[in-house]
Amino acid sequence: MQSRDVQTIRVLVDAFPGLSPELQKAAKFILDHPDDVGLNSMRKIAGQAGVKPATVSRLSKALGYDSYEQLREPFRQALRKSGPGFARRLQAVQRRGNDVSHAMFEEMRAVELENIAGSLSDEQFEVFEEAAETLCSSRRVYVLGLRGAFAPAFLFHYTHQMFGDKCQLLDTRAGMFADQLRGIDDRDALVVISFSPYTQLTIDAVNYASESGVQIVAITDNLLSPAAHAAKHTIVVRNESASFYHSLTGALAVCQCLIALLVVKSGRDSVKIVREAEKQLSRISAYW
Of residues 41 through 60, those in contact with DNA by CB under 7 A are 41-44, 51-58, 60
Span near DNA by CB under 7 A; candidates 4-12, 35-43, 85-93, 221-229: 35-43
d(CA 61, CA 208): 63
- From the list 66, 123, 165, 179, which residue makes contact with its own copies (rule: CB under 8 A)? 123
Span near its own copies by CB under 8 A; candidates 50-58, 63-71, 180-188, 193-201: 193-201
Cβ–Cβ < 8 Å for 22, 55: yes
Please classify residue 40 by burial: count the beta carbons closer than 10 Å to its beta carbon, then call 0-12 exposed, 13-18 middle and 19+ buried: middle
What backbone phi and psi angles, to 5 degrees, belong to 216?
-110, 130
d(CA 85, CA 111): 8
d(CA 135, CA 141): 7
Q: Tell me whether residue 57 or residue 222 sits nearer to DNA (CB atom).
A: 57
Span near its own copies by CB under 8 A; candidates 52-60, 135-143, 191-199, 212-220: 191-199
Q: How far is the CB of 153 from its own copies (least distance, A)?
A: 9
Q: How far is the CB of 201 from DNA (least distance, A)?
A: 27
In one-letter notation, the amino acid at residue 154 is F
The partner residues of 170 in beta bridges, in order of sequence, read: 144
Span near its own copies by CB under 8 A; candidates 53-61, 62-70, 110-118, 183-191: 110-118
Q: How far is the CB of 125 from its own copies (least distance, A)?
A: 5
Instruction: Tell me which of DNA, its own copies, none is bound by residue 52, counting a contact when its beta carbon lies within the kind-specific cut-off of 5 to 8 angstroms.
Output: DNA
Instruction: Tell me which of DNA, its own copies, none is bound by residue 48, counting a contact when its beta carbon lies within the kind-specific cut-off of 5 to 8 angstroms.
Output: none
d(CA 164, CA 265): 13
H-helix or E-strand spanning residue 8 = helix 7-15
Q: Tell me whether residue 68 or residue 156 sits nearer to DNA (CB atom).
A: 68
H-helix or E-strand spanning residue 56 = helix 53-62
Instruction: Tell me which of its own copies, DNA, none is bound by residue 43, counting a contact when its beta carbon lies within the kind-specific cut-off of 5 to 8 angstroms.
Output: DNA
- From the list 58, 216, 226, 240, which residue makes contact with its own copies (rule: CB under 8 A)? 226
Residue 168: CB atoms within 10 A of its CB come to: 19
